[in-house]
Structure 1
Amino acid sequence: MGFECCHPVINLLYFAAVIAASVLFRQPVFLAISYISAFAYSVKRNGRRAVLFNIGLLPLAALFALYYWSYHHFGVTVLFRNFIGNSMTLESLFYGVTLGLQAAAVVMWMRCVFSVFTTDKVVYLLGRISPRLSLFLAVLLRMEPRAKTQLFRINTARRAIGRGSDQGSFFRRLPNDLKIFSMLVMWLLESLAELSNAMRNRGGALPGRTAFSLYHPDNRDRAFAVVFSAALTGVLMAMLLGQTDMIFDPALLMVPFTVASGFFCAAYAVLCLLPMGMELFSRLRFERQRKRI
């Protein structure tokens, strides 16, 4: 019902645009928009767990900023000198904070990517390029949940004879864990061999193989593409005019904020908040239709 229901190409283009913008844009307003949008959308996609995870990124960003500040001493605004006489400057501290927030924003956007992209979408996108690679990834992605299930079965069976991974002392658990891991590796090798023979017998390695999919663009994808293109155009104009960059060495310097800058920031905010707006609109429309029934 939300952004995950859009065409995989739309999902790919959108996340490529916002992640690239989060990496390239260093102007404080654009950086704040990227961070807040990524925070809000990751919470919308992943629930309460995302709140704790995203808040936990802030101390890590602060630690990185302090680390960067202690080793890089460029800039003209000296705050103080450390115990070995190096200048601790405002410019290096501000640049370290910027890099930390950029990394935090990218991590949050990647959590959104993992929640939106399913195995079918990855197989579809790669299947258009290389059907063999698509088949290979489908086999590997399917193997991961099967391996978890098999690991649970092996551990349950060994617990019945007192040799589970959580039974006995530390010196007894270690060989138990190694034996369980050995059994799981043997099962994986046998399963991969069986899958390889099955795919070969079904013609998976024959030339001219194509990829089947049920994804077709609809009016929702077209509407999203129109709004996305308009917002992206405004963001690209901001890049060309230098509105998204900032100079840190030797002093903090950026383009003065004008009415045009407000327009570019609004276009970037629309770009970043577009999936959330789409999901909220779909939810509201669904609730209205349900009330009519």
Structure 2
Amino acid sequence: MKAFGSYNPIVLIIYFFSILLISMFIVNPVMLILAFGGGICYCSIMEQPKDFFHNLLFYIPLFLMIAVTNPLFSHNGVTPLFFLNGNPVTLEAILYGLNIAVMLIAVMYWFKCYNQIMTSEKILFLFGKIIPKLSLILSAALRFVPLFKIQIKKVHKAQKAMGLYSSNSYIDKLRSSMRVFSAIVMWSIENAVDTGDSMKARGYGLKGRSHFSMFPFTWKDGILVIFIGVFMIILAVGIIFKTTAFFFYPRITELSTTPLAWIVYFVYGILCFLPFIIEIKENLKWKYYVSKI
């Protein structure tokens, strides 16, 4: 299901830029938890359940490592809980480490969703006229990542069928891995040269060249852009008036509970869970139409 990905790339890049901009530069725990939850929910519906739970085996240890590392190296704060090798481990450092871990994992999940939604065609559509060479490099890089994985499996299986992995020696395994890596590097260079020659033969980047677009800007895109714009204005007002301001050092401040703060939290929550809501709505609509057949 990629109902949200069917919107115009201009709308999508504005949305992801807005979410990531706030997630990376806001320390407010409520807003970070909302970004964290929205990213996980959207990623869970975009991936297969097996892949989603398999990726948790990477994110959970990473989360714990980030959360534990901060209080071990940072001893700021006025509330010491215990002493480790003569250094105080403070409550502020522990909570700040948890907050940073939530922020980093949330940003990683949103970038993961971005990579699945923003395909090479959409990047070429956005930047093909402005910066054609850079957009070609970016789209080729994004396209080569999944191709690398497929090609590595093909080369590995082919060399395994030739008996190159029959030995249990670590040296032989290292040589075989280097052989696979060498083949993949040569394949990627040839593929890049072929792609560049093909694009050059088609007149890519020349002045006056017409562009075919598969992404028309519809009224739904306009409504969503207005929706995101209004919400970002509300969030900007909350940030300007320091409604979302929060500090861990030297003492943990209280979360703002003013009416404007609740409006900001609600608006940001809707913004973070917007793709998840759209995907669920389209899924329910699809099941309803299927049931009517």
The alignment's TM-score, normalised by the length of structure 1, stands at 0.85
| Residue type at the aligned position of 1:111 | K
CA distance in 1, matches of 2:177, 2:89: 50
Aligned-residue CA RMSD (Å): 2.7
Given that residues 75 and 88 in structure 2 are in contact (C-alpha distance below 8 angstroms), is that contact kept between their aligned partners in structure 1? Answer: yes
Q: How does 1:21-170 map to 2 (within 5 A)?
A: 21-48=22-49, 49-54=51-56, 56-84=58-86, 86-144=87-145, 151-152=152-153, 154-162=155-163, 164=164, 166-170=165-169
Q: How does 1:164-179 map to 2 (within 5 A)?
A: 164=164, 166-170=165-169, 171-179=171-179
Given that residues 54 and 108 in structure 1 are in contact (C-alpha distance below 8 angstroms), is that contact kept between their aligned partners in structure 2? Answer: no
Mean Cα deviation higher: 151-160 or 108-117: 151-160
Structure 2 CA distance for partners of 1:291 and 1:115, relative to 1, 3 Å:
same
Structure 2 CA distance for partners of 1:123 and 1:78, relative to 1, 3 Å:
same
Query: Which residue number in structure 2 is paired with residue 284 of structure 1?
Result: 284
Query: CA offset at residue 206 of structure 1?
Result: 4.1
Give CA-to-partner distance per residue, 1:204-245, whole Å, 9 cap, x none. 464444543211111221222232223222222221221222
Given that residues 123 and 138 in structure 1 are in contact (C-alpha distance below 8 angstroms), is that contact kept between their aligned partners in structure 2? Answer: yes
Query: Per the alignment, in what secondary structure is the counterpart of residue 216 of structure 2?
Result: coil
CA distance in 2, matches of 1:116, 1:130: 21
Given that residues 119 and 142 in structure 2 are in contact (C-alpha distance below 8 angstroms), is that contact kept between their aligned partners in structure 1? Answer: no
Query: Per the alignment, in what secondary structure is the counterpart of residue 223 of structure 1?
Result: helix
Given that residues 238 and 244 in structure 1 are in contact (C-alpha distance below 8 angstroms), is that contact kept between their aligned partners in structure 2? Answer: yes
Once the two structures are aligned, what percentage of the paired residues are identical? 26
Query: Which residue number in structure 1 is paired with residue 203 of structure 2?
Result: 203
Gaps in structure 2 of 5+ consecutive residues: none
| Residue type at the aligned position of 1:133 | L
| Residue type at the aligned position of 2:185 | V
Structure 2 CA distance for partners of 1:131 and 1:174, relative to 1, 3 Å:
same
Query: CA offset at residue 201 of structure 1?
Result: 3.9
Gaps in structure 1 of 5+ consecutive residues: none
Query: Which residue number in structure 2 is paired with residue 248 of structure 1?
Result: 248
Given that residues 79 and 90 in structure 2 are in contact (C-alpha distance below 8 angstroms), is that contact kept between their aligned partners in structure 1? Answer: yes
> Which of these two proteins has the greater Rg computed from alpha carbons?
1
Structure 2 CA distance for partners of 1:246 and 1:282, relative to 1, 3 Å:
same
Query: CA offset at residue 173 of structure 1?
Result: 3.8
The alignment's TM-score, normalised by the length of structure 2, stands at 0.85
Structure 2 CA distance for partners of 1:283 and 1:70, relative to 1, 3 Å:
same
Query: Which residue number in structure 1 is paired with residue 265 of structure 2?
Result: 265
Give CA-to-partner distance per residue, 1:102-145, whole Å, 9 cap, x none. 11111111111122121211221221322233334444555555
CA distance in 1, matches of 2:267, 2:56: 25
| Residue type at the aligned position of 1:234 | I
Given that residues 37 and 272 in structure 1 are in contact (C-alpha distance below 8 angstroms), is that contact kept between their aligned partners in structure 2? Answer: yes
CA distance in 2, matches of 1:247, 1:39: 25
Query: CA offset at residue 50 of structure 1?
Result: 2.2
Query: Per the alignment, in what secondary structure is the counterpart of residue 75 of structure 1?
Result: coil
Structure 2 CA distance for partners of 1:54 and 1:12, relative to 1, 3 Å:
farther
| Residue type at the aligned position of 1:268 | Y
Mean Cα deviation higher: 99-108 or 142-151: 142-151
CA distance in 2, matches of 1:141, 1:280: 27
Given that residues 131 and 209 in structure 1 are in contact (C-alpha distance below 8 angstroms), is that contact kept between their aligned partners in structure 2? Answer: no
